[in-house]
């Protein structure tokens, strides 16, 4: 069993840390929220004094934070993990951030002889709790092999997708398809509803064919039931598409649909809907068309 | 067993007609192409002399034609099916057309005491041959019950989706999601490829999650293999999105992504790619980004 550092005790980090403890690993935890850190210690984690302290005590450290700036601060800051890490240790960032930032952090780590993997996840809180996240890893093969037994405590699918940054690039590809598929579902069902059809009948008529998708199966029923309890918040999807568009511009890639969907999200955020589940991306076109997609008679 | 008229002996119509014959129905066939009509007669169909003749001889007539103008001509033209039809007979249009045109034709039929259903299909030539099309029907319940045994010879899923026009509206909803999902897949994989990832690894890493779709499973491999043999041609998808956008405008519905994808299709058609499979919609963003999505080393 290994000693694993863990920084970031939010909605995702807490259950992921718990799964490391369950598997028998020693976990040195740290987070700025004292209450959450206390709770982790009660569950069996060792108390880290600071990011730097976690780096000093654990040869392998997992971070799970909101976005790139937080990861830069926690890893590279004056009192960051890296300031404590011994050469030869490994930092695994499981946050969903801009892959360009992953590469920048990896370079700073390498300069101190510390290895780095980006390993963002998909599946949200339920799969974090179950330990069945999909984990997309970027980095070199040797570090991947070192991290794999740790990652397998938290995820059911752990894939090496390329060098550092590739994990987050894969995650961005995922988030582009999810957001665009939700928005396309919104257009299709808004048209059908305005034309007098029952959108539930439409979903059932098409979901077995080429229009079928995990989005239609999982998010279609939420839209029809007007149930936008998150799940995954629009605010977070806005962050992911921002990272996708920044990465695209830096790499000279043109993403017109992603850019359009990001503008739809901006409108929803302006209307105070940023904390709704991302299935509500489909409501932009509804509102623009002055119609509401719901089951007939509902 | 019934006597069924059949007009439209193209790539889809031929195998559909064959499945009616196989089921033991008497089929009176007609189409402008003498060679194709001869072939149908050889296979057991009775030879119709004209659209009008088919209407006069069959109490139920199926039409399978390219678009609305052709259906209007064949059904409502001076020598059209309706000119021969007896009151109480039923015309089932299985073409994919603008639902507003379906409603116009239904009204003209009703004025002569003839019933009408729109019943477009999804699944393409392979499922037409197998008799496993998905058939989306618009019309009243009584006519639907009358047509159902006939439709079940051609399709494995036959759904009444609402009044006349609802079949085609459902088909448009289907085609909106398919086209937009293909284009979104193109954006995701173009970004990943330009960032140095192997797109096949990306597809495999995400297809089991919320980004998963029938499009990713069926069209992703075609894109990666640069295999754009149709299947379903971009030209036909352009027609479907044109009908969707016309229907949307007439019903005061705003479809920004559909409109954008239709412009991508216009560009592909301008470059002579209208006869490629619609999976090639994904290549618009590739070309715009000066990159080609293909498997590493391929």
Which of A176, A195, A252 has the CB atom closest to B187's CB atom?
Answer: A176
What are the extents of the domains in chain B? 3-164, 169-289
DSSP A86: P
A2 has a pLDDT exceeding 60: yes
Mean pLDDT, rounded, of chain A: 97
Which of these, B123, B251, B84, B154, lies nearest to A190 by C-alpha position? Answer: B251
The whole-number pLDDT of residue A162 equals 97
The whole-number pLDDT of residue A82 equals 98
Task: Tell me the three state secondary structure of residue B5.
Answer: strand
A114 has a pLDDT exceeding 90: yes
The whole-number pLDDT of residue B295 equals 82
The whole-number pLDDT of residue A298 equals 56
Which of B188, B257, B285 has the CB atom closest to A260's CB atom?
Answer: B257
Look at B202 and A177 and tell me if their CB atoms are within 8 Å.
Answer: no
User: What mean pLDDT do residues A73-92 have?
Assistant: 98
pLDDT band at A242; cut points 50, 70, 90: very high
Identify the bridge partners of residue A115 per DSSP, sorted by sequence position: A90
A197 chain-B contacts, CB cut-off 8 A: 161-162, 166, 169-170
The whole-number pLDDT of residue B260 equals 98
B184 interfacial to chain A (CB closer than 8 Å): yes
Distance in Å, alpha carbon of B134 to nearest chain A alpha carbon: 8
Query: Is A222 within 8 Å of A276 (Cβ atoms)?
Result: no
A167 interfacial to chain B (CB closer than 8 Å): no
The chain B residue lying nearest A262, using CA atoms, is B257
**Residue numbers of A annotated as active site:** 171
Give the pLDDT confidence of A244-276 residue by residue, as tens digits.
Answer: 999 999 999 999 999 999 999 999 999 999 999
Q: ipTM of the predicted structure?
A: 0.95
A185 interfacial to chain B (CB closer than 8 Å): yes
Give the pLDDT confidence of B281-298 residue by residue, as tens digits.
Answer: 999 999 999 999 988 765
The whole-number pLDDT of residue A295 equals 82
Q: Label residues A191-215 b or e (16+ Cβ within 10 Å = b).
A: bbbbbebbbbbbbebbbebbbbbbb
Give me the CATH topology for the region B3-164.
Answer: Rossmann fold (3.40.50)
Pairwise CA distance, residues A69 & A110, whole Å: 19
User: What is the dotted CATH code of the domain comprising A169-289?
Assistant: 1.10.1040.10
Give the pLDDT confidence of A158-201 residue by residue, as tens digits.
Answer: 999 999 999 999 999 999 999 999 999 999 999 999 999 999 99
Look at B122 and A206 and tell me if their CB atoms are within 8 Å.
Answer: yes
Query: Is B155 within 8 Å of B121 (Cβ atoms)?
Result: yes
Note the Cα A152 to chain centre separation in Å.
17
Phi, psi of A161 (to 5 degrees): -105, -5
How many Cβ pairs within 8 Å bridge chains A and B? Answer: 255
Give the pLDDT confidence of A25-52 residue by residue, as tens digits.
Answer: 999 999 999 999 999 999 999 999 999 9
The whole-number pLDDT of residue A294 equals 86
The whole-number pLDDT of residue B296 equals 74
Which of these, A168, A140, A137, A138, lies nearest to A154 by C-alpha position? Answer: A137
Q: Which residues have CB under 8 Å from A186's CB, separation 6+? A: A223, A281, A282, A283, A284, A285, A286, A293
A233 has a pLDDT exceeding 90: yes
Pairwise CA distance, residues A296 & A200, whole Å: 8
Which residues does chain B have with pLDDT short of 70? Answer: 297-298
Look at B191 and A208 and tell me if their CB atoms are within 8 Å.
Answer: no
Select which of B127, B171, B219, B273 is catalytic. Answer: B171
Q: Which residues have CB under 8 Å from B38's CB, separation 6+? A: none
Residue A296: count of CB within 10 angstroms of its CB:
12
The stretches of chain A forming alpha helices (DSSP H) are 13-22, 34-42, 51-57, 68-76, 81-84, 99-111, 124-130, 141-151, 166-194, 199-206, 214-218, 220-224, 234-250, 256-270, 283-289
For A36, A83, A92, A127, B160, the CA distances from A31, given in Å and listed in that order, are 7, 16, 16, 22, 56
How many angstroms separate the first and last alpha carbons of chain B?
Answer: 54
Pairwise CA distance, residues B256 & B247, whole Å: 14
A67 has a pLDDT exceeding 90: yes
A264 chain-B contacts, CB cut-off 8 A: 256
Residue A259: count of CB within 10 angstroms of its CB:
15
Pairwise CA distance, residues B247 & B177, whole Å: 16
Q: Which of B170, B186, B230, B282 is the best substitution to test chain A (most A C-beta atoms within 10 A)? A: B170
Give the pLDDT confidence of B125-169 residue by residue, as tens digits.
Answer: 999 999 999 999 999 999 999 999 999 999 999 999 999 999 999
Distance in Å, alpha carbon of A194 to nearest chain B alpha carbon: 7
Strands B121-122 and B26-30, sheet pairing: unpaired
The whole-number pLDDT of residue B297 equals 63
Please provide the DSSP assignment of B204-243 as one string.
Answer: HHHTTSTT-BHHHHHTHHHHHTT----SSBHHHHHHHHHH
Distance in Å, alpha carbon of A137 to nearest chain B alpha carbon: 10
The chain B residue lying nearest A192, using CA atoms, is B169
């Amino acid at each position: 069993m290994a000693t694993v550092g863990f920084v970031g005790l939010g909605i995702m980090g807490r259950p992921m840390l718990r799964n490391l403890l369950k598997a028998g690993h020693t976990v040195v935890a740290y987070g700025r929220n004292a209450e959450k850190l206390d709770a982790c210690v009660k569950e069996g984690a060792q108390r880290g004094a600071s990011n730097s302290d976690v780096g000093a005590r654990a040869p392998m450290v997992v971070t799970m934070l909101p976005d790139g700036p937080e990861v830069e601060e926690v890893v590279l800051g004056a009192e960051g993990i890296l300031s404590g890490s011994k050469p030869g240790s490994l930092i695994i960032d499981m946050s969903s951030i801009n892959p360009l930032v992953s590469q920048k952090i990896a370079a700073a780590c390498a300069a101190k002889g510390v290895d780095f993997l980006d390993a963002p996840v998909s599946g949200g809180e339920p799969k974090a709790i179950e330990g069945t996240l999909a984990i997309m890893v970027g980095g070199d093969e040797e570090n991947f092999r070192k991290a794999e037994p740790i990652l397998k405590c938290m995820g059911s699918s752990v894939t090496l997708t390329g060098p550092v940054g590739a994990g987050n690039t894969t995650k961005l590809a995922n988030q582009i398809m999810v957001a665009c598929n939700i928005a396309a579902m919104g257009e299709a069902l808004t048209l059908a509803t305005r034309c007098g059809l029952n959108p539930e009948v439409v979903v059932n008529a098409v979901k077995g064919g080429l229009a079928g998708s995990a989005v239609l199966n999982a998010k279609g029923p939420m839209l029809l039931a007007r149930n936008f309890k998150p799940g995954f918040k629009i605010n977070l999807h806005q962050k992911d598409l921002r990272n996708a568009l920044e990465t695209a511009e830096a790499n000279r890639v043109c993403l017109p649909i992603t850019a359009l969907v990001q503008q739809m999200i901006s409108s929803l955020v302006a209307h105070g809907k940023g904390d709704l589940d991302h299935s509500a991306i489909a409501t932009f076109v509804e509102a623009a068309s002055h119609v509401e997609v719901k089951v007939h008679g509902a």
